[in-house]
Chain A
Amino acid sequence: MSPATILLLVVLAYPIFYTLRISFAELNLGTFEADTWVGWDNYLAVVENDRFWNSLKVTGTYLILALPLQMVLGFGIAFLINANWKGRGVVRALFIIPMVVAPVVAGGVWRMLLDPLWGLVNYLLGFFGLEPLDWLGNPSLAMMTLVIIDTWRWTPFVTLIATAALLSLPRDVFEAAQIDGANWWRIFWSITLPLLLPIIAATFIVRWLGAVKMFDIALAATNGGPGQATNVINLFIYEEAFRSLKFAESAAMAMIILVLTMVLTGIFLVGSRKLEERQ
């Protein structure tokens, strides 16, 4: 444990301290150091900014839609592609590709596929007599589009971990249960699920922490639009810092997000510990 702790402490301690410090100060762009102490001013500016609140709302919607979908699809598909046949290894290796495609390219390819003018998706829908949909231009549909792209991209992660989890299940337990004549639902509910629980919980936590930080796909696919319909919080912070050069306010936002993420992660951890202890 100590190598990990030391490494993280060395690399992360100063950056986090720096962010905390400039979140309470006015940043001098000439030196990139804190200039004057301004107390809670930056935080007040953030809290008064309805674009910030909107981003939180958008992020929440996206998380509530995307996370459960990815978890269920991921474990389901892992179960399917673990079936024993010759091509299994290849299918597994190919299934990770959506994760590997650079977000910029992935976002662009999806834009190409979904565009009402030259996109393949609406062209195919046309064969079924369906009206073309404005996947990227309609504010509520744009959120669905973002969830679809993100699910396409990150379900393979869940599948990758779930595959390993299913492979690690001890064989003898199942054999014993089968000999006892338990049906598949009982085996699933009282043996498979409890055994998988620590890994399901870990996968969820890792995916949750990754999803909170998602901004690359939103940047490439919708650029946060239309309006602010897909402007997730990390895209907003990125734009405020790197486009508008409002580094101090961005630091304040980052600290707020850090606290929010910590609280929610804490709740998830307590929840998963409760579940683990129940077995």
Chain B
Amino acid sequence: MGIATGEWHPANSSRAIPAVLREDGILLVAAEEERVLASAVPERTEISPRVGSIPRRVSFPDGSVFETRDNDGIDTYLRGKRGARSGLIHRLEQFHPRLILMTLAVILLATTIYRFAVPVLVEVAVLVTPPFVPELIGSGTLASLDRTILKPSELPEGERQAISEGFSKLATHSKGGQGAYDLYFRDGVIGPNAFALPDGSLILTDDLVKLANGDREMILGVLGHEIAHVEGEHSLRQLYRAAGVAALVMLIAGDVGSGVEDILTQGGALVALSYSRAAEAEADRRSVELMRAAGYDPAALARFFVVLEDKLGDHGDASILSSHPGTPQRQQDIRNYAAELEGRLQAR
């Protein structure tokens, strides 16, 4: 006879009266024994959708509420009233072999998003990024590096002058032109290194110049590689990729827990510091093009990798420590590309 047993609360009150929910003619009625506590036509009541086995609420127009744990009783009533479609989401959620299929679908879709949607989103984000953003990132990073791990360069003025001149020649042939890049000489604990900031600031360490042992073309080859990173907006892309993956995971999974959230945000920041393999290969090729255009040895960058190989003993095909392709492979690719460019121009 009754739909479900539970408790009835007067409007806005915590007072609870044991009650039964039942249909009385066209009315839905909450009653204590024979005393009617609240009643209304079903259309004017609101029954909360089922989630797991948490209590259900039936709200009456006078603000009073009937609450019950008898989910099945309510479901039976609703199916009779509204047909089989009621509670569709809850039925999907029930523990059932069907969930295996759904899990597989989620894995498939997530992989697809990672492979195809993320790159597209990154491109869109790069496109709509206003120019002051890379400026801010660049100047901020350089300032904080100068305060922490970088020191002013101790190279002789003449040496710096010569490298700067070569660098200007390279930059003239790049997309942004000479004005888009600034070369900074620095010394510090980071060893032989050169890196680019998204605003076009390039930092070259004294140790790298010393490592080159007077081979300025080699240094320029490295700088050409760094110019390419700026041209291709690689660091911005990497940043957006890390942030995008973190944001998507949090949106889709809803609640991943604070620990995983920290890993996604902080770990993402670490990942954003390195370039992808594809970006490195692209920058290598671009270095060849720029060096060629400026009238230097196009494959000078390969000599840098020879030196690295000698000093570091990096003979592996791919190093484990980073996403960088192994240096022997990169040397070969650079030489091949230089030869290919040469051939193409002669054929013309």
Instruction: Decide if A and B are genuine partners.
Output: no
A residues adjacent to B (C-beta < 8 A)? none
